[in-house]
Amino acid sequence: MSVSLPLAGAVDLQLGKRLAEQGDASRGLTPCSECHGANGGGSEEVGAPRLAAMGEAYLARQIDNYKDGNRRHPIMQPWADALTADEVQAVAAYYASLPPASNAIVPNDIDPKPGKWLALYGDWAGRRLPACIQCHGPLGVGVGEYFPALAGQPYNYLVGQLAAWTTGSRKGDPLGMMSAMNRHLSAKESRSVAAFYASIPEKKAVQVAAEIERGALQPDPAKATPPTDELGQMATKGSAHTGPLAHQGEIPSGRPQAEAELFEPPLRGTAPDDDFGELVKLGEAIYQHTYSHPVSGKYVGNTQVCEGCHLDAGRLAGAAPMWAAWVSYPAYRGKNKKVNSMTERLQGCFKYSMNAQASKVGAPPSAESRTIHALLSYMYWMATGAPTGDKTMPGRGFPKIAETKQGFDPARGKRVYAEKCAICHGDAGEGAWAEGEGGEKELVFPPLWGPQSYNWGAGMHKINTAAMFIKANMPLGNFIELSDQDAWDVAAYINSHERPQDPRFNGDLAETTQRFHKSQFDYYGKRTGPDGKLLGEAAPMPTASAK
Amino acid sequence: MSVSLPLAGAVDLQLGKRLAEQGDASRGLTPCSECHGANGGGSEEVGAPRLAAMGEAYLARQIDNYKDGNRRHPIMQPWADALTADEVQAVAAYYASLPPASNAIVPNDIDPKPGKWLALYGDWAGRRLPACIQCHGPLGVGVGEYFPALAGQPYNYLVGQLAAWTTGSRKGDPLGMMSAMNRHLSAKESRSVAAFYASIPEKKAVQVAAEIERGALQPDPAKATPPTDELGQMATKGSAHTGPLAHQGEIPSGRPQAEAELFEPPLRGTAPDDDFGELVKLGEAIYQHTYSHPVSGKYVGNTQVCEGCHLDAGRLAGAAPMWAAWVSYPAYRGKNKKVNSMTERLQGCFKYSMNAQASKVGAPPSAESRTIHALLSYMYWMATGAPTGDKTMPGRGFPKIAETKQGFDPARGKRVYAEKCAICHGDAGEGAWAEGEGGEKELVFPPLWGPQSYNWGAGMHKINTAAMFIKANMPLGNFIELSDQDAWDVAAYINSHERPQDPRFNGDLAETTQRFHKSQFDYYGKRTGPDGKLLGEAAPMPTASAK
């Protein structure tokens, strides 16, 4: 899905600068700066976006969108039509090279709080609406080629674009995801989201993003009610499924439909303001930033986060929610043939899904660690009111998926992946990151195979488990529905790649396969990978600090 | 409360043997053996008890009871009247010296299962009825001077005595406890209890007792319904308080009265028959035999058991039940100024109440230990259905007790203790044991002070905590009610004795007192003990393996 761009070095930045600042009178092209500002920070007056420090590929794609008619604008459309491909690249590269700037003016009559809530948390339970930050990165600093920065965009531009997605006058978003998402939002909410993002100074976005990554930017308890009455009503009315899902057809069959019957964990941000609440908040931050969080990162040997599989920070029904897990332990697990306490269960996540063996510590967090205590407290708090021992809570685990007549096939799955998954998870399953402060990367979409993914012992390496998860939860927000067959096939494709070694590997692939990987839904030690070796054969044994 | 008996060595066993086997024709005394059997095993035909291997003091006391009119029997009364004090001692000592023997015949038309249930578990929630074994020792092998062996007693004798307690024709039990307890039992249940105890061969009682001590003798799942319809109905009807408590006056004000509203943990013995259930059963066994259990004993530095404070194996409302505790953690504790997981909370019990520092291991069980896993599983299972996070469950913790005008006074408490506590806990707070297999002791009543008791850091050393516990729960089964004043005073008396050192002691009594013992309800470092030293001053620092 990626477009091939000339390397930045080969682009004529001077050409871009000239077009931006002077236009080309011979072709009737006004300078970009006339609408987008001399600093590239956009304009409230004409509703023009900021371009400065936006992604080069994203900017070039937008000019192409005007050429293609996916976007409409009386000035931009003829402008785009006039440019050559080289000029498009030059202008895009020029603006991408500018320092961050924003000419946004925050309207003082719009309450940004509901928008902030939706931006940070979304509204999963009510509308299956992912948070904006889940694709646009921490506080909207932008991710990859497809997800532009939102921080510091002029309010009027954002309001206009949100409306354009809804009416269909703007197109060109991969798989129609923005138009689908946006149909979930009321006009009032759109204004609030726009006001929130306009309020974030672009030059501070990275810093603010870093703050939220560290769990410092927590919502006020005062904001911890559903952001607006309107939002609350929509959620109550179950309008979630009158939008894109109804539009696309069925609600994904895999996930719970009777949301009214689902357990409701406490609202986000309502943890008490005391020592226990502090630990709950830490647990939530760890849940979302497991590998990069200063408290938990040293136990993580890849770049995964708990939230990667347990969506909405462990709250989402059908994505193995933590409130249902909490009341299910201690419990016997066939995996290690004993009764596991919740602490042991969590340590298992680190051992397999987080590949702790390759972490700085080289092992999962101890029962005494702050990481375990924070996660236990967070889970316990999320389960407030859940009946102890109830293993039948609707939404528990991943919903079952029926086997299909055709079985599963990685070759078919490869096509599904390229069409519907690669946009976020990358062509090579490498995941996607947003830039963080100091240039380090912050995970946005988790890697699905390779050294930074879950290892061969993780539950997700099993094709049936992955198929269940994918069917019920992918793509994020279910703005399109995968067929059962697609879910099986793409799960098979993902899990036909090499990944970190099973920590139970004893040096003998056949024996390890026999002991732990006999399932028909498991390619370890059976299927040959792209390098001609059996899967598991080329998987490196993790060593501490290899991260 | 103990009677002073001549030492066994000074007793004329030959005289006892002669009276037992030949009687004394000159005084019209028939030989004991005529009714009690040549082997002293009793008789079903005449309903005579077994005497062989019964406690000497108990036997002598019974002859005195016939003299005093506390017991009535056409043969025994004149017989007892005729004997001199020396002869009473001689006969008692002779039978105590005989090897165990039983002539009991188990009736084949009486179902012993309900009786077994009541003997092992009692019916706390329904009727506040302690298990028989809680005073009579493991499987009824007898404890001290007041609690005779029941195992191997003829069925007809037991039925007769249970009826005699109820009608009042038998008296002389300390504080009237047997008549109080027995009023809880229906006639049908009395027959079943009698059949159960008659069915235990006396010569195997110790061995069977040892089995139950090891958790091997678990009730069948099939028996895990309330033992009889009658019992179930009585419990449902709330007949608990129409018996002795109504007779004695008020239901103790300290404990929850609206039992219908109380949470009901799963019935005993209904843990599933799988690995999880095995761990639950192990947890229950540890709960009841903490210091002597092979799994948990190495972490216990005194002779305490969890059940000593958390009655009915942690199930009883008002005695800090485990189902209410489970849903309350993780939680912040002022005691260690941090959020504690349940594992840490349990480790705290071992550190203080169990004085783990003086145990073989010298420390509480680790989070990875089988002891912790078993206790977590047991607690979790008991909390089945309890709402996670609910800290308002009726019956949680110990009920509050109001302060009294007179305050608390150990001198007054000493009298209360001598009258109402020493029977079970001993004159010197030393507790009581039943003989176990191989002659080792099995705890029946826990020590309340001294080296085998809880240490100066345990919650129970606080006078208000102890007063709450005592008011609501003592004497076992609340067959009499202590006034608030008595509860405060006896709590002060108990906690005015020296006990193992607070593990937080830093070598400086004044400083340790200032840091951890400032409460007005705490005598540590303030009150002078009997040896003229401040309490805490003579408390030995625990050292591992001092046990």
Asked if A546 contacts A452 with a C-beta cutoff of 8 angstroms, the reply is no
Helix axes B187-198 and B113-121, enclosed angle (nearest 10): 90
Asked if B530 contacts B428 with a C-beta cutoff of 8 angstroms, the reply is no
Residue B245 CA: distances (Å) to CA of A195, B6, B227, B312, B417: 69, 38, 23, 19, 21
Position A211 scores a pLDDT of 52
User: Does the beta carbon of A509 lie under 8 angstroms from any beta carbon of chain B?
Assistant: no
Output B122 or A260, whichever has higher pLDDT: B122
User: Does the beta carbon of B329 lie under 8 angstroms from any beta carbon of chain A?
Assistant: yes
CB-CB under 8 Å, A275 with B332? yes
Query: Tens of pLDDT along B183-195?
Result: 889 999 999 999 9
Position A460 scores a pLDDT of 98
The answer, yes or no, to whether residue A205 has pLDDT greater than 90, is no
What is the nearest CA distance from A283 to chain B, expressed in angstroms?
Answer: 12
Asked if A489 contacts A410 with a C-beta cutoff of 8 angstroms, the reply is yes
Q: Locate B450 and state its tokens.
A: 């001294």
Position A138 scores a pLDDT of 78
Judging contacts by C-beta atoms under 8 Å, the chain B residues touching residue A330 are: 276, 279, 373, 376-377, 380
What is chain B's mean pLDDT, rounded? 86
- ipTM of the assembly? 0.83
A198-207, A411-420, A443-452, range with the lowest pLDDT: A198-207
CB-CB under 8 Å, A373 with B330? yes
User: Does the beta carbon of A274 lie under 8 angstroms from any beta carbon of chain B?
Assistant: yes
CB-CB under 8 Å, B385 with A385? no
- Other CB atoms within 10 A of residue B287 CB: 24
Q: How far is CA B349 from the centre of its chain?
A: 20
Position B438 scores a pLDDT of 54
Which residue from B383, B384, B389 is facing A383, i.e. has the nearest CB? B389
Does an H or E element contain B341, and which?
Answer: none
Q: Locate B34 and state its tokens.
A: 């005529």
B57/B65 Cα distance (integer angstroms) = 12
CB-CB under 8 Å, A380 with B330? yes
Query: Tens of pLDDT along B7-20?
Result: 445 788 999 999 99
Q: Which of A276, A339, A346, A373 to mutate to test the interface with B (most CBs of B within 10 A)?
A: A339
B398-402, B450-454, B513-517, B542-546, range with the lowest pLDDT: B542-546
**Mind giving me the DSSP string for A23-72?**
-BGGGTBPPTHHHH-TTS--BTTTTBPP-TT--HHHHHHHHHHHHHTSS-
Which residue from A368, A372, A385 is facing B388, i.e. has the nearest CB? A385
CB-CB under 8 Å, B341 with A388? no
Q: pLDDT band at residue B126, thresholds of 50, 70 and 90?
A: confident
Residue B538 CA: distances (Å) to CA of A256, B324, B516, B517, B520: 65, 37, 17, 16, 21
Output B75 or A546, whichever has higher pLDDT: B75
Residues of chain A with pLDDT > 70: what percent?
85
Asked if B334 contacts B347 with a C-beta cutoff of 8 angstroms, the reply is no
Residues in A 375-394 with any Cβ partner in B closer than 8 A: 376-377, 380-381, 383-390
Q: Strands of A401-536 (E only): list them.
A: 432-435, 441-445
- Indicate the residue type of B191: R
* Helices and strands: H and E segment counts in chain A: 24, 4
Asked if A471 contacts A496 with a C-beta cutoff of 8 angstroms, the reply is no
What's phi and psi for B34, nearest 5 deg? -60, -40
Asked if A529 contacts A497 with a C-beta cutoff of 8 angstroms, the reply is yes
Query: Tens of pLDDT along A514-531?
Result: 999 999 999 999 999 878
The residue count of chain B comes to: 547
Q: pLDDT band at residue A4, thresholds of 50, 70 and 90?
A: very low
CA dihedral B344, B346, B349, B355 (to 10 degrees): -80
B487/B465 Cα distance (integer angstroms) = 11
B547/B362 Cα distance (integer angstroms) = 10
Judging contacts by C-beta atoms under 8 Å, the chain B residues touching residue A377 are: 330, 339, 341
Position A140 scores a pLDDT of 83
Q: pLDDT band at residue A202, thresholds of 50, 70 and 90?
A: low
A450/B286 Cα distance (integer angstroms) = 47
- First and final C-alpha spacing in chain A: 29
What is chain A's mean pLDDT, rounded? 86
Cα nearest neighbour of A331 on chain B: B276
HSE-CB for B162 with a 13 A CA cutoff: 26
Q: Over the range A150-166, which residues count as b (16 or more CB within 10 Å of their CB) and which as e? A: bbbbbbbbbbbbbbbbb
CB-CB under 8 Å, A275 with B339? yes
A349-369: average pLDDT: 97
Judging contacts by C-beta atoms under 8 Å, the chain B residues touching residue A372 are: 341
A312/A303 Cα distance (integer angstroms) = 18
User: Does the beta carbon of A329 lie under 8 angstroms from any beta carbon of chain B?
Assistant: yes
What's phi and psi for B293, nearest 5 deg? -75, 135
- Indicate the residue type of A167: T
User: Does the beta carbon of B336 lie under 8 angstroms from any beta carbon of chain A?
Assistant: no
Contacts of A514 (CB under 8 A, 6+ apart): none
A171-175: average pLDDT: 88
Q: Which of B341, B346, B382, B390 to mutate to test the interface with A (most CBs of A within 10 A)?
A: B341
Query: Tens of pLDDT along A98-108?
Result: 998 999 999 99
B44/B229 Cα distance (integer angstroms) = 28
Which residue from A275, A341, A381 is facing B376, i.e. has the nearest CB? A341
Position B78 scores a pLDDT of 93
Model pTM?
A: 0.86
User: Does the beta carbon of B279 lie under 8 angstroms from any beta carbon of chain A?
Assistant: yes
Output B531 or A170, whichever has higher pLDDT: A170
Query: Tens of pLDDT along B214-226?
Result: 443 333 434 334 4
Cα nearest neighbour of B366 on chain A: A367
Q: pLDDT band at residue B229, thresholds of 50, 70 and 90?
A: very low
Query: Tens of pLDDT along B329-369?
Result: 999 999 999 999 999 999 999 999 999 999 999 999 999 99
Q: Which of A341, A371, A384 to mutate to test the interface with B (most CBs of B within 10 A)?
A: A341
Which residue from B329, B338, B367 is facing A343, i.e. has the nearest CB? B367
Q: Over the range B289-324, which residues count as b (16 or more CB within 10 Å of their CB) and which as e? A: bbbbbebbbbbbbbbbbbbbbbbbbbbbbbbbbbbb
CB-CB under 8 Å, A388 with B386? yes
Among B212, B255, B252, smallest CA distance to B119 is for B212
Please return the burial class of A193, using the count of CB atoms within 10 Å of its CB with bins 0-12, 13-18 and 19+: buried
Q: Which of A322, A366, A380 to mutate to test the interface with B (most CBs of B within 10 A)?
A: A380
Helices (H), B429-542: 463-473, 484-494, 509-516
CB-CB under 8 Å, A339 with B373? yes
3-state SS, residue A132: coil
Judging contacts by C-beta atoms under 8 Å, the chain B residues touching residue A384 are: 387-389
The answer, yes or no, to whether residue B6 has pLDDT greater than 90, is no
Choose the most confident range, by mean pLDDT, from A269-273, A434-438, B144-148, B379-383.
Answer: B379-383
User: Does the beta carbon of B334 lie under 8 angstroms from any beta carbon of chain A?
Assistant: no
Contacts of B19 (CB under 8 A, 6+ apart): B29, B31, B32, B83, B87, B90, B91, B94
Position A440 scores a pLDDT of 63
Asked if A265 contacts A327 with a C-beta cutoff of 8 angstroms, the reply is no
The answer, yes or no, to whether residue B228 has pLDDT greater than 60, is no
Residues forming beta bridges with residue A147, ordered by sequence position:
A143
What is the nearest CA distance from B492 to chain A, expressed in angstroms?
Answer: 34
CB-CB under 8 Å, A381 with B389? yes
Output B44 or B435, whichever has higher pLDDT: B44
Residue B74 CA: distances (Å) to CA of B64, B66, B67, B254: 15, 10, 12, 44
The answer, yes or no, to whether residue A227 has pLDDT greater than 90, is no
Residue A279 CA: distances (Å) to CA of A272, A371, B390, B474: 10, 9, 18, 39
Q: Over the range A292-324, which residues count as b (16 or more CB within 10 Å of their CB) and which as e? A: bbebbbbbbbbbbbbbbbbbbbbbbbbbbbbbb
User: Does the beta carbon of B90 lie under 8 angstroms from any beta carbon of chain A?
Assistant: no
User: Does the beta carbon of A347 lie under 8 angstroms from any beta carbon of chain B?
Assistant: no
Cα angle for residues A288, A294, A299 (degrees, 5° grid): 80
Position A420 scores a pLDDT of 96
Position B100 scores a pLDDT of 87
What is the nearest CA distance from A470 to chain B, expressed in angstroms?
Answer: 30
